[in-house]
Structure formats: structure tokens, C-alpha cells
Structure 1
Amino acid sequence: MACPLNIVVLLVSLLVQLVLLVPANGQSDEDPLVRTTLGSIQGTRMESFSGKTIYAFRGIPYAEPPLGELRFEAPKPYPSWGNTTLKATADSLVCPQTGITLLMSEDCLKLNVFTKNLTAQLPVIVYIHGGANKIGSGHSTYEAGPQYLMDHDVVFVAFNYRLGALGFLRGGNYGYLDQVMALEWVQAHISKFGGDPQMVTIMGMSAGSMAVSLHLASPLSKGLFHRAIMMSGSATNHYSIHNEFWSRLLARQVGCPMYNSFDMVECLRTVTWQRIVEICSQWEQYKFINMKWNYEIDNYFLPKHPSALIDQGQFNKVPILASWTANELDYTTLAQVENELLLHDINENFNEYAPEFFLFDYNPTKSQRIKNFYLGQQLRELGRDNIEAFGRIFSDGIIGHGVHRLVDMARKYTNVYYSRMDYVGQRSLSAPLNEDMTLRGVGHADDLQYVMPSLWYGTIMSKDHADLFMMQRLTEWFVHFATTGKPVTDSSIWPACNATSVQLLYNDRTTYVGPAAYVARFAVWDQLFPKTSGEAASIVAPRRLGLALALAVLIHRLM
């Protein structure tokens, strides 16, 4: 992840923009205006990377603010504003998360639309942001800039959805229902912005990519999109999900009832969102990548485990473009390389740490198999020499295996274009430097910088940037896929995976097609975690987590 200094610079820059709320080029009589069934919407103008005019409509509400009684409820459509004109001239505040609270509000269920032609019928790309379901946004400066994609003939949409406990408290799936409502808004109104509602591609990164896989599986999302782009994430994995455990722990730590769902929710509605975010942020002491809040099988948004639905062909069978990076989370463990006491304890008690780190129920046999495969049976200590091998467990367990499984199951029913990002560019969120000051590899989200600019990577690329070709390549692929269902015209350059063939496009300075990668690594996870029928995502916590909750309560009492 980004270093602390980068995070400070990012947040300060965002604070300045959000507090000032100044449109990119000021307002004028020539600013774009659209008329929808909800009312008129006034936008502003921006420029694409190459200088093309973008009509930008930012901060459009798609659902009522989830405040008061609407907190921990399914979203409600935003009502018409009648004869007044909505000034959609600046990004909204982001949904509550760890960070500077001045930048946030629960009144955050808003979206941005970027277009170059208000009267066309262009393909639409809708971006679902990542961030482990606890951070992130669709903000046009912070994460989801339109400048690269809008060099092409496409309409681009990005939006916020509820995060953390506010979005995923036990039994809710509220964050995913927000996403469904945003997609419904696109179907109802995007034609007024020059978009074709029958040519919508949903695109997600990390947790956003997991969300895309859930929309593939959800009956509520049927007909709301027609292609799917998935970057480094899928819900078709082994995750053991325990929103109930984290909901009870939150309730206990703010003094609310823990067991009766009605009482818990009623009480938590009286707690400030700042306090809820503060409590949940305290659960991340080790700073390793994981995902505490996640989907639940609720017989509404999700009738079965997504693996079961996709494996059985019970999903929205649209063309899929699925990708991941060669090193994903390999380098994220480097942040703890000097923490010798923690690494010593992890090595000695790997079976105890592994379930929390790698998201499965307590099972010493599985934990030991994973440790032996990645770190060797004769491991004496975790340290600088093997810290990246430790990181590869996160890469495969949290990201890679889920994508591998999605491709393997979905290809029986629809075309799946499968790729791995191998190109090592000039900027990375996690990769360390070699002795010659070049980056060692390509980590998690390092490919997103070529699709949309964000403060995570600093400024927009210069016109002579060494990585410019990759930006042009990825945006061309994605827009061509959104338009035709294929990333390239020539199928020999990038053939689709199908029921009889799995081929992977290796995306480096040049590209080539070859057999699937990391087969032996992913086979370990396939053997340890066979395709689930749905039990893993139930809302009932196992006995082991019950003991963990008791321990957490005891520690809280002693503080």
C-alpha cells in the first residue's frame, strides 16, 4: 500500500479540493445541461488527457441519504427535484472510512457521469471502486479520474457506496444494494448523457472486482449490465465470512446490545459514524491485507454462494475480462520486515494466525499445508529472506486463486478473456526498488494507474511518460471490450477461454498468449478449499470465532 507520506499528501490534496468545492474550469453560460425525469442537471467542463472536451456531472444523488432510520436499511431511490436545477459541479464527500473526517459524510450515495457527446449512444463503463469494502470512493481526483478513458468514445460513470459496518453490518449487504441502485440509475438516465443503456460494462478493482463477480451471480443485477471487467478480485474463493462476529464486536465496544438484531441496529443508529469508523479502524493493528466486511447469502441479493451459482451456470452470462498482477500482494508484507517479534510469533503460531490473515475457519491441517508449501517444512524464522514468500500466500489466498476459479467456472458458459499484468512501470504502490532503482515487480492495483488517474499515483502522466503506451493499450482494450464484447479485433492476439481451452495473455511491454500461470500454487487452494455449496458465507459464526469474540471482550474489559 502507499507509504504514510503519500497518504498524507493525498488526503491534504483531496481536503483542499473538497473544502473549496471549486469546479475544474469555473461555471459559465456554456456549461452543459441535461434534462432527466428527475429534473435538470447542470455540469461543468473538463479536458481529457489529449485535450478533448469532457462534460462532467459530479455529485448526482442516486439514493436518499442513509441517515437516521435509513442507516442499516436498503437504499431508497432519490426523489425528483422538480423544476429546480441540480448543480452537479463538484464531487461529493466520500462515504465514512478511515481518514480525515472533514472529507466524509453519510450523505454520500452519489455518482459522477463523464461524457463527450450528450446526444450519442455510446457504450458505458461503470466503475466500482476497491478498498477491502472499508475505504475508497468514486471521487474524480482521489481515485476515479476520467481523463484517460475519455480520450475514447465512451461514457464513464463512477460512484460511492456504503463501506465498513455502515455498508455490511450483519444481514445487510447494504453496500451491494447501493451498487444495484446505482446501476438501476444508469439504466434509467444514462441515455440523457449520450450513453446506451443496452451496452453497459461494469468494471471493478480489488473489492470492486469482487463486487463485479457478485453482480454476475445476483438475480437483482440481471439486465443491468452487459459486460464485466474484473481487475484483481473475485468472490469465487474460499473466504469464510463472519459479519456477525464483527457486528457483535462493534456493538460490544460501543455499549450496544450484541445478540438481538433489532436491538443492535436500533442502538447502533444512535452512534455517530465517526465513532463507528474509529472502533473498526482499531482492528487493523497488523496492517496485513484482509477483508473483514463482505457479502452474505441473504436469499435476496445472493441466493447461494457465488461459486455455486457460477459453477452451475446460474449467473448473468455476459462476456468477462478478468485480470490480475504478477505480484499482487507479494510486497505488502515488507511493511513488517523489521518487526522481528511479530514475525517470530507468526512463525511459531502460524496455525493460529492463518485463519484471520487468509480468511478461513480454524484448521491446523490446512494452515500447515499452506505454510509448508510457500515457506518450506524446515522454516526456522520469518525475515527478510522469505518475507516475500510469505506475501505470496496473501497474493494467492486473497486475490489470485479467486480469479483463477472464476475463470475456470465461467468459461464453460461464456467467453472469458484472461490476462496477467507483467509490465513493471515507473510507479507502484507496493513494489520495492532494485539496486539499480528500478521497481522489482508489479503489485496490487498497479495496473489501475493506466486506466484512470488518481492521487495514489501522483499527477497525471506527462505526454512523454515512459508508461504512456500501457495507458493507451489498456484503455483501448477496455473500451473495445465495452463496445464489442472483445478486447481486441484479432482473436489470434487474445483468444477467449472457453469450455475446452484456457489461455492467458501475458501483458508486458509486448504481449503473448500462453498457458495459465501459477498452476501449482492455485492447485493447493483448490485441494484445500473445494468449490463451496454456500456454507462458508452463512451468517452464523463458528465456535472458534465465538472464542475469539470472548477473548476480545475480555481484553476490552481489562483496558
Structure 2
Amino acid sequence: MPRLFQLTCALFLISITFTTAVTFIGDDPVVELSLGKIQGDRMQSFRNRTFYAFRGIRYAQAPVGQLRFANPLPETSWGDEVLQATADSLVCPQPGVVSYMSEDCLKINVFTKNFEEKLPVMVYIHGGANILGSGHSSYEAGPQYLLDQDVVFVAFNYRLGALGFLSTNSSETKGNFGYLDQVMALEWVRDHISHFGGNPEMVTIFGMSAGSMAVSLHLASPLSAGLFHRAILMSGSATNHFDIDNLYWTRKLARELGCPMYDPTDVVECLRNESWARIVEVCKAWESYQLITMKWNYEIDGHFLPSHPTELIAEGNFNKVPLLISYTANEFDYNAYVHLGNQHLLHDMGSNFVDYAPELFLYRQDANIGEQLKDFYLGGNTTEINAKNIEDFGRIFSDAYIGHGVHRLVQLARAFTPVYYTRMDYVGDRSLTAPLNGDNKPVGVAHADDLQYVMPGYWYGTVMTENDTDVFMMERMTSWFSHFAKTGTPLNSTDTWPPCNLTHLKMLYNGVETQVGAPGYSDRYLVWDELFPTAARSGGAAGKLSLVVAIATGVACRLIGKLM
């Protein structure tokens, strides 16, 4: 009896500690962390349910002064002061309106309905080609849709552009600062999310575009091991062919700012004395064609990444969690439409495609690759890019930047972990880049168009109304995501959406109705597989057999792809 009495008292004290960790000042909640107290406020979900918002919490020290171009340091205690977390922080420096930005931007937002439960946690990593974007609740990462589901939602900022990825290729400045910021944000979630009703043992990371590439890097990084338990990747993966030289862009930046270019210490110290606004301004001028030309990428640094992510995942040397992987039917197909009136540029790109292609599609100069891409997508004799073939030109961007990397991730990861593979085919009322038809409706579903059904943001207009024709897709997507966050499967039954594994490869086509079939665009992705093969996993007879199987599979994929 005494032991039972002690156990009962202990449980009672734990219950008191847990329930009294949250107090209220009027209607606003105050949560006490090991770092100090935080006051949030209330918001309304799409279905008009009240939830609690804590915005602008610093998760790392301000990366200014000597901490610019340095690994992040965790935030320290703020003592007895109650931190006011009732508004979003300024976003990290990027091309745009300077007054909305600050280098002191490593802040995190948390949204929850209930402090007493242990709900699945969904952590969003924003996209933007590593130079744009934020976790801001109005600009991009609105919580209104997901908070109608039983999840805790988290979004955050991380360093971008040169400030996040500058590298001198030295032990002093290896780059990857933006990715290390993300690791620190995930560590903050692990350490503190239980105070907001979240379960630190049930964390799902998800991202779109460059944010999705980041998710794939966390799959590969040993630093991220144990910090998440599921992953959702929307239109992006680092298992691609990209050849981006951060050192080249670092030296170009240094030269244009009048800084030293070669000695790592001299380069960094000089650039630390420049304003962040000037650094962003110089880098912005490099985007000369208004096309997707990513400049800053990860470094294989022996710390965040021990080797190339494709190699790590192919070997099974990655964080094996259930995966939900998607892309949109048209991604960047309409990317070049902005230049339809620029006949001279399009003519030059068409007649000199092989010379433009390495810069546009991010591979090392190789005339053979350019010739094969041109022959497959445009026809070898093409000298003009015009209204008749500009969408074919755009498909090269779609496959180079998104489709093939996603395809390769599915192919590699399915041998080791369940992979739910889907393509967004639903054409809604709004699109970021798809042109409109005669009925003022988008002609396709372009890059990032699927994100509007997961979270509202500035780019997609206001939060939907209850009678919006796209509401059903929002409810479908948020239901899939939250179910996946809880169980590791997007639906109750795998019969209607089977996972890809070592022996089965299926895709769910997400239109007005859903259907399961063979993966789409296989003929297109096979071209990239052949141009940018992965390293052989084994040699000898087994290796030769694998090659035969791969060739046979490739032929079958070409036939299947032409039917999709």
C-alpha cells in the first residue's frame, strides 16, 4: 500500500505539473519552457475553431557579427521576462521589400489546439530556391487549414542565399548554414514541443520545392537522425544531377563587393563588414533570364553531409522513415512563357541550346548531354523556341529541377522504407504560373499549386471561403497529411493507395477523383537516368544482371510512360 500510495502521489504531481505549465492572461496562453515564459494569442481555423499561436520565438542566436557565415548557436534563457510571441518575426534577407526583413530572423512559429494532448507534430520547411521564402503565417505558412486536423503545426525561418550557403571550401567556412539552422529548429522542436501539446516522438517534416530538397537532405544527414519520424516531400529532392559550385558564387560575390577572393579568412571577414542588403542586392542581379537558375546548394562537408545524398540513400545509409512523395503534373512547364514576347532571346536559346543548357539545367558543360536533351524534348533540328514549342521547352525545367530527382528518390528509397508516391493532377481555380484558358481557369497544375491546399499564404490569395470549389481538395490533402503524420500511412487502407516497395511501384493520381497506376512520365525520366546514372552498387555477375534488369525496366518504362 505505501508503494501504491507513493505512485499515486507521483502521478498526481506529474499531472499538476503538466496542466499548470500553461496559464492564461485573459484569453492569451502563457507557456513556460526551460528557456523562459512565452505568451501567445488566439487564431481561428478555416472551420472557425479556436487555436493558439506562438509566433516569432527565437530558436537560435541572431546570426550577426561573427555569427554571420558561422554555424548557428542555440538561444539562451531570457530570464524572468515573458516573451511576447504574438506576431510573426521579420523574414530572413532575400530579394524583396527590405523593411520586412532582418538578419535576426531565426525564429519559429508554433500553432496548437490543445496543451494537454500529445498530438502529431508537422514541421514545415519552406521553399524558394534557397534564396526566397519564410515560415511567416501570412506570407506562406498559414496554419488555418492544418489546425482543423489533430496536429501541432510548426514553421520557421532559416538563412538564405549567400548568408545561408556561402562556402570558401575550407574548414573555417564550409557552408550549409541554412541547413544547420534547420537542424537546430528541429532540435528546438524535440526539446520544447511537448509544452505545446505535441509529441516529440511523432514529428513529421515536410517541405515544398527547395524545402522538399531540404527534407531529402535531412533523410541523408546523420545530424538529423532521430529528430523526425515521417517525411513528406512536395516537388523536390536532392537526389538529382545538380552541379552547383558554391565556391564560384562566393568568389563572384566577393569580387563584385571589392573583397578578397581566395584566402578564406580574408573573404569572410570582409563580407562580414558588408550590409546584408548589399549582399542580397548583388546576388539578385545574377538572375538575368527570369528563369529557374538555382545558385546556392548543399556542401558535402563531412558534418551535415558525409557524402552525396544520392549515394547515401542508394546504400540504405539514411534515416529510414515512411515517405510521402509528390510532384505536380506540370511543374515548370509554363516557366518560359514570360519570354514569349522576347523573340530574340528565344531564338538565341533555340539555336544555341547546347550552350545555354548547362546553366539553365544545372549540369557540368557537356555538349552530348545538351544535344540529347534538345533531340528528345524539342527535336534535333529545332532552331526556334516559340508559342508552339515553349511548353516542351518548359518540360525540360520540370524534369531537370523536380521530376527526375523525385523519381530517383522513389526508386532508391523504396528498397528500404515504405514510399507513398503521388502526382497532383487536379487543376484548381488558382495557379501561380499556369496561363488561363478562355474560362479564366488555369490550363494546368504548376509548381507549388498543390501547397495552397495545405496552407494559405499571400501567393495564393486569401484563405478559402466555405463555398470555394477547391475546399474538397484542401480537406483531402490536409486529411492525408495529418493521417500520415499520425500513422505513417496517408489513408486507413493501403489497398486504395499501396506503398512503393522493393517489388511494387505504383502512383496515386490525385485529380477530382483518385486512381492508382504505373508512375507517370517514365519515358522522360529514363532520359535523365541515362544521362546522369547513379554509381553502380555492385560489380561482377550481379552488377551485370542489375544492368540487364535496368535496361529491360527502362524499355518497359518508355512504353508505359507514353500511355500516361
Return the TM-score normalized by structure 1: 0.90
Q: Match of 1:79?
A: 76
Question: Match of 1:111, SS?
Answer: strand
Q: Match of 2:388?
A: 385
Q: Match of 1:347?
A: 350
Aligned pair 1:417/2:414, yes or no? Answer: no
Aligned pair 1:523/2:520, yes or no? Answer: no
Match for 1:363 among 362, 366, 370? 366
Write the distance in 2 (CA, Å) between the matches of 1:328 and 1:314. Answer: 30
Q: Match of 1:260?
A: 263
Deviation (angstroms), 1:351: 1.4
Kept in 1, the 8 Å contact 2:347–2:383? The answer is no
Question: Match of 2:320, SS?
Answer: coil
Match for 1:306 among 278, 287, 309? 309
Kept in 2, the 8 Å contact 1:41–1:85? The answer is yes
Return the TM-score normalized by structure 2: 0.89
Q: Match of 1:288?
A: 291
Once the two structures are aligned, what percentage of the paired residues are identical? 63
Return the letter of the residue paired with 2:314.
D
Q: Match of 1:427?
A: 430
Match for 1:462 among 443, 452, 465? 465
Question: Match of 1:418, SS?
Answer: strand
Q: Match of 1:232?
A: 235
CA displacement, residues 65-112 of structure 1 (integer Å, 9 cap, x when unaligned): 000000000000000111111110100000000001000000000000
Instruction: Flag the structure with larger Rg.
Output: 2
Write the distance in 1 (CA, Å) between the matches of 2:462 and 2:127. Answer: 20
Deviation (angstroms), 1:188: 0.2
Kept in 1, the 8 Å contact 2:39–2:84? The answer is yes
Aligned pair 1:185/2:182, yes or no? Answer: no
Write the distance in 2 (CA, Å) between the matches of 1:130 and 1:486. Answer: 24
Relative contact order, CA 8 A, sep 6+: which one is greater?
Answer: 1
Question: Match of 2:489, SS?
Answer: coil
Q: Match of 2:109?
A: 112
Write the distance in 2 (CA, Å) between the matches of 1:64 and 1:156. Answer: 22
Kept in 2, the 8 Å contact 1:450–1:474? The answer is yes
CA displacement, residues 322-379 of structure 1 (integer Å, 9 cap, x when unaligned): 0000000000110011111111111121111111100000000001100110001221
Write the distance in 2 (CA, Å) between the matches of 1:439 and 1:113. Answer: 34
Kept in 2, the 8 Å contact 1:407–1:416? The answer is yes
Kept in 2, the 8 Å contact 1:451–1:475? The answer is yes
Deviation (angstroms), 1:532: 5.2
Q: Match of 1:502?
A: 505
Write the distance in 1 (CA, Å) between the matches of 2:359 and 2:413. Answer: 29
Return the letter of the residue paired with 1:189.
H
Match for 1:64 among 61, 65, 75? 61
Q: Where does 1:93-492 land on structure 2 (aligned, <5 Å)?
A: 93-170=90-167, 171-492=174-495
Return the letter of the residue paired with 2:262.
Y
Gaps of 5+ in 1: 1-26, 534-559
Question: Match of 1:444, SS?
Answer: coil
CA displacement, residues 446-504 of structure 1 (integer Å, 9 cap, x when unaligned): 00000000010111001000000000000000000000000001111100000011100
Return the letter of the residue paired with 2:42.
R
Return the letter of the residue paired with 1:96.
P
Question: Match of 1:505, SS?
Answer: strand
Q: Match of 2:557?
A: none
Write the distance in 2 (CA, Å) between the matches of 1:45 and 1:374. Answer: 51
Write the distance in 1 (CA, Å) between the matches of 2:150 and 2:438. Answer: 42
Greater shift after overlay, 288-297 or 440-449? Answer: 288-297
Write the distance in 2 (CA, Å) between the matches of 1:398 and 1:303. Answer: 23
Question: Match of 2:53, SS?
Answer: strand
Question: Match of 2:179, SS?
Answer: helix
CA displacement, residues 226-250 of structure 1 (integer Å, 9 cap, x when unaligned): 0000000000000002000000000
Gaps of 5+ in 2: 1-23, 168-173, 537-564
Match for 1:34 among 31, 34, 44? 31
CA displacement, residues 166-208 of structure 1 (integer Å, 9 cap, x when unaligned): 0000121000000000000000000000000000000000000
Kept in 1, the 8 Å contact 2:56–2:109? The answer is yes
Return the letter of the residue paired with 1:187.
R
Write the distance in 1 (CA, Å) between the matches of 2:389 and 2:109. Answer: 44
Kept in 2, the 8 Å contact 1:94–1:139? The answer is yes
Kept in 2, the 8 Å contact 1:241–1:296? The answer is no
Kept in 1, the 8 Å contact 2:230–2:322? The answer is yes
Number of corresponding residues: 508
Write the distance in 1 (CA, Å) between the matches of 2:462 and 2:111. Answer: 20
Kept in 2, the 8 Å contact 1:145–1:454? The answer is yes
CA displacement, residues 33-73 of structure 1 (integer Å, 9 cap, x when unaligned): 11110011100000110011110000000000000000000
